[in-house]
Chains A and B, each alone.
Chain A
Amino acid sequence: MPSGASLAQLATYAAFGALLVTLSRHPAYHPVPAGDALLQVSIAHAGVRLHPCRRLSAQELAARAPNMRAAFKCPRRRSPVRVSVALDGRALLDETVAPSGFARDGLSTLYRRIPVAAGAHLLRVQVGDDLRAPHAGVLREFEVLLDAGQVLSIDFGPQRDGIAIS
């Protein structure tokens, strides 16, 4: 007959084991609500330079150290990038993303996850990379048929013909 102490040991080990087994899978996690798809907006794009390059005048050049006499001065600051996404006419996202970096000369980056109902939708994506001209930029509309659990990624970049979904 096992003693009370060894039964208590067994019970303790069993409780610990049960805790490990249970919390290593339960409760189940729902990354998107059941029946939804996920729009994944992932953009890393450099806005346009805010100031064009300028040829330096002769005096300006002369004022510089001999090894610093580049003919052009190019201010590095870039425009923020504005991204808007609408689904069936309803705005899901409208963000203006500042360029990264101290000098604000880097990429404007955005990553957003937006669950949406599965089914057929009209997706409208607009990206502007020059805020001096707020109404310029690229606009594209897609007719999409989303399955539940599908991840639709939205990207932007000249090498991708502007706005791309995948």
Chain B
Amino acid sequence: MPAHAIDAAPPVTKPGLWVALERALDRAFGPAANPLRNLGALGFLLFWVLAASGIYLYVRFDTSVDGAYASIEHLSRAEWYLGGVLRSVHRYAADAFVAVTFAHLAREWAAGRFRRFRAFSWISGVPLVWLMYASGIVGCWLVWDQRALFSALATAQWFDALGLGAEPMTRNFIGVGSVGNRLFSLFVFLHVGLPLALLAGMWAHVQRLGQPRTAPSRALALGTLAMLLAAALASPVQSAAPADPRHLPAMLELDWFVLFAHPLMYATSPEALWVLVAVATVALIALPRAARGAAPVTAQVSRADCNGCGRCVADCPYQAVLLGPRSDGRRGWQAEVLAERCAACGICAGACPSSTPFRSVRELVSGIDLPDLKVHELRRRLARALRRLAGRASVLVFACERAARSDALAGPGSAVVGLRCLGMLPPSFVEYALRRGAGGVLLLGCREGECAYRLGTDLTGARLAGAREPHLRANVPRSRVRVAACGAGEEAQAAAELVQLRRALAREPDNAHA
């Protein structure tokens, strides 16, 4: 009924193709092991696979230009069961790394996750693409087969187009014997140094995120490793013929994941490839600026209500809260918000011990609050909603405005209070609602892995389970609380969750309503 209208207008859009694909894979994998929901974490896993297999290959590798080819051939043929398999795993992991990184980029792009407080994550991702290709391309050279020579020469030709340096780099690869051990050692050095730089970049990339998921679930990790191993066994990687500057085969098997730029350059020109790469890089870096939205409100600290416990710091998904020395002369700490990092999700308010609605103050002020949806306002809306509820099957719905639309859930016997993110809800509000007349509480949030603020769904689950402060107190009957994970577009499921909760409540023995 319109009288029970939801408090916050939901900015919900129809789920796009990508979201539909992720949800389809949820059915097979579950959200925790869904590769599409864990692309960043998969990137880290693949990096460690590359590092581990690479270390073995390096130990067995002859770093001289004349011995390199034979040493890898030996691994691939005589020791195919270990060295050969690891070589193939190394290569397929590199290919997978490229695929996963671009999928990750596409996903964040499709979800519009590059603006404002995400600009750091986005922009710091761009150089990772460069480092990834640099690492991969140089890696191909270490085999020193025809493919390697082709790639090295093409790369040299590309850099020569910049016109830096006196002697053209291509001339290092022309005559027989022109590539000496000095130059080859440089390749080896680069293939260690560039991945290390990549790792440093990956570390920096997640610095602005609270609790970044840099490791996939065990199931996803094992599945991915098994897949790499199966690919390595089914289709072992082989070298081309040894590098020979006087011979170019009419047909080369190229690794298109890593080396696609060479054919592209020969189909166009080195200059055209530079323009393409430069434009793509600048466009990606400029994207967060070009798409700058309206300045959001940001969380604000009320010093008098902050005891410096640090829960908001621990839960903030964007590392936007820090603890600093108190400015009111008392000893201890107080929270401070870095406005440009803040997503205005309210998760901090949900974490703050001052957010409890049981406080007998006229104006409920949290230690940290969203100015446009304060905890006090939440309590006011809750009180208004509760006035309409009575009976053991009545349900108060706390609904995230990013999840399935909740307007239709309000009706006789149910009322809705909207939240910026489910993680914004202090668990004490659940208890408060149950004590003041609601028969049950439905927490409507996004699907696992779809939280617009990364951590809202997970934090809520942990708080309800008593695994993370602030807890939902143990004496609150869990049978009267239900979490519904329904993303945008899943209104029908949300309605079904409400019906199920009401049925369960109706069956409850009376003593559960003490």
A1-58: which have CB < 8 Å to B? 5-6, 8-9, 12-14, 16-17, 19-21, 23-26, 28-36, 38, 40, 42, 44
**Interface residues, chain B, CB within 8 Å of chain A?**
25, 27-29, 35, 91-92, 95-96, 99, 150, 157, 160, 163, 166-168, 170-171, 174-176, 223-224, 226-228, 230-231, 234-235, 237, 245-257, 263, 266
A105-161 with Cβ < 8 A to chain B: 106-107, 109, 111, 113, 148-153, 155
B168 x A9 contact (CB < 8 A): no
For the complex with contacts A9-B223, A20-B231, 11 further pairs of A-B residues with Cβ separation under 8 Å are A9-B28, A13-B224, A13-B227, A17-B230, A29-B253, A44-B168, A107-B166, A111-B160, A148-B250, A166-B175, A166-B246
- Looking at the complex, which one of A8, A29, A40 makes contact with B174 (CB distance below 8 Å)? A40
Q: Establish whether residues A42 and B168, one from each chain, have CB atoms under 8 Å apart when the complex forms.
A: yes
Query: Would you give the shortest CB distance from B357 to chain A, in whole angstroms?
Result: 41
Q: Give the shortest distance, in Å, between B249 (CB) and chain A (any CB).
A: 6
3 A-B pairs closest in CB distance: A8-B28, A25-B253, A13-B227
Interchain CB contact under 8 A, B150 and A42: no
Q: List 16 A-B contacts (CB under 8 A).
A: A13-B227, A20-B99, A20-B231, A21-B231, A24-B91, A25-B253, A30-B250, A31-B250, A33-B250, A42-B168, A42-B170, A42-B174, A106-B166, A111-B170, A149-B249, A151-B247
**Minimum C-beta distance from A158 to chain B (A):** 16
Contact A155 B257 (CB under 8 A): no
Alpha-carbon separation in the docked complex, A152 to B247 (Å): 8
Q: Are B257 and A29 in contact (CB under 8 A)?
A: no
The answer to whether A13 and B245 touch (CB under 8 A), given A34-B250, A149-B250, A155-B174, is no
> Inside 8 A of B168's CB, which chain A residues have their CB?
42, 44, 109, 111
Assuming the contacts A13-B226, A17-B231, A24-B257, asked whether A38 and B248 have C-beta atoms less than 8 A apart, the reply is yes
Q: Give the nearest-CB partner of B263 in chain A.
A: A29
* Interchain CB contact (< 8 A) of A24 among B27, B251, B256: B256
Q: Which residues of B contact A111 (CB under 8 A)?
A: 157, 160, 168, 170
Question: Contacts A24-B91, A30-B251 known; A5 to B246 CB distance under 8 Å?
Answer: no
Chain A minimum-CB-distance residue to B219: A9
A32 partner, pick from B167, B228, B231, B248, beta carbons under 8 A: B248
Q: Given A34-B250, A109-B160, do A23 and B150 touch, yes or no (CB 8 Å)?
A: no
Chain A residue contacts of B266, Cβ below 8 A: 31, 113
Q: Which residue of A lies closest to B167 (CB)?
A: A44
Residues A151 and B231 in contact, CB atoms below 8 Å apart: no
Whether A149 lies near B247 (C-beta < 8 A) is yes
On whether the beta carbons of B28 and A12 are closer than 8 Å, the reply is yes
Q: Which of B95, B163, B170 makes the CB contact (< 8 A) with A23?
A: B95
Chain B residues within an 8 Å CB radius of A29:
251-254, 263
Which residues of chain A have C-beta atoms less than 8 A from B228's C-beta?
Answer: 17
Contact A20 B92 (CB under 8 A): yes
- The answer to whether A23 and B256 have CB atoms under 8 Å apart is yes
Q: Is the CB of B163 within 8 A of A100?
A: yes
Chain B minimum-CB-distance residue to A33: B250
Bound-state Cα–Cα, A155 to B424, Å: 71
Q: Is the CB of A32 within 8 A of B250?
A: yes
In angstroms, Cα B266 to Cα A14, docked, is: 33
Contact of A42 among B29, B96, B171, B253 (CB under 8 A): B171
Chain A residues with CB below 8 A from B167, complex form: 44, 107, 109
Knowing A24-B92, A100-B163, the reply to whether A153 touches B245 (Cβ < 8 A) is yes
| Cα distance A148–B247 in the bound complex, in angstroms | 9
Q: Which residues from B are CB-within-8-Å of A20? A: 92, 95-96, 99, 231, 257
Q: B-facing mask of A92-114, CB < 8 A → 1, else 0?
A: 00000000110000110101010
Please give the distance in Å from B459's CB to the nearest CB on chain A.
Answer: 27
Using known A-B contacts A17-B231, A30-B251, determine if residue A9 contacts B29 with beta carbons closer than 8 Å.
Answer: yes
- Of A24, A40, A113, the most chain B CB neighbours within 10 A belong to A24
Cβ contact within 8 Å between A153 and B248: no
Contacts of B255 in A (CB 8 A): 23-25
Q: Are B171 and A16 in contact (CB under 8 A)?
A: no
Residues of chain A within 8 A (CB-CB) of B157 are 111
A106 to B166, CA, bound (A): 7
**In the assembled complex, which residues on chain B have CB atoms less than 8 Å from the CB atom of A25?**
253-255
Separation of A9 and B224 alpha carbons in the complex (Å):
11
Are B231 and A36 interface neighbours, CB within 8 A?
no
Determine which residue in B160, B176, B247 has the highest number of CB atoms from chain A within 10 A of its CB, and name it. Answer: B247
A8 nearest CB neighbor, chain B only: B28
Please give the distance in Å from A50's CB to the nearest CB on chain B. Answer: 19
Kindly list chain A residues whose C-beta atoms are within 8 Å of the C-beta of B226.
13
Query: B223 touching A24 by the CB < 8 A rule?
Result: no
Complex: how many Å from CA A9 to CA B95? 20
Cα distance A115–B174 in the bound complex, in angstroms: 16
Known: A24-B91, A24-B257. A150 touches B160 (CB 8 A): no
Q: When the two chains form the complex, which single residue of B223, B246, B248 contacts A13, counting CB atoms closer than 8 Å?
A: B223
Contact: B246 with A28, CB < 8 Å? no
B255 (CB) vs chain A CBs: closest residue: A24
Q: Contacts A12-B28, A13-B223, A29-B263 known; A153 to B250 CB distance under 8 Å?
A: no
Contacts of B29 in A (CB 8 A): 5, 9, 12
Residue numbers in B under 8 Å from A24 (CB-CB): 91-92, 95, 237, 255-257
Q: How far is the CB of B285 from chain A (nearest CB, A)?
A: 28
Q: Is the CB of A100 within 8 A of B254?
A: no
Q: How far is the CA of A20 from the CA of B235 in the complex (A)?
A: 10
Q: Among A6, A17, A40, which residue has the most Cβ atoms of chain B within 10 A?
A: A17
CB distance from A126 to the nearest CB of B (A): 20
Assembly CA distance A5 to B257 (angstroms): 29
Determine the chain B residues whose CB is within 8 A of the CB of A16 once the complex forms: 35, 96, 99, 227
Query: How far does the Cβ of A29 sit from chain B's closest Cβ, in whole Å?
Result: 5
Contact of B250 among A6, A12, A35 (CB under 8 A): A35
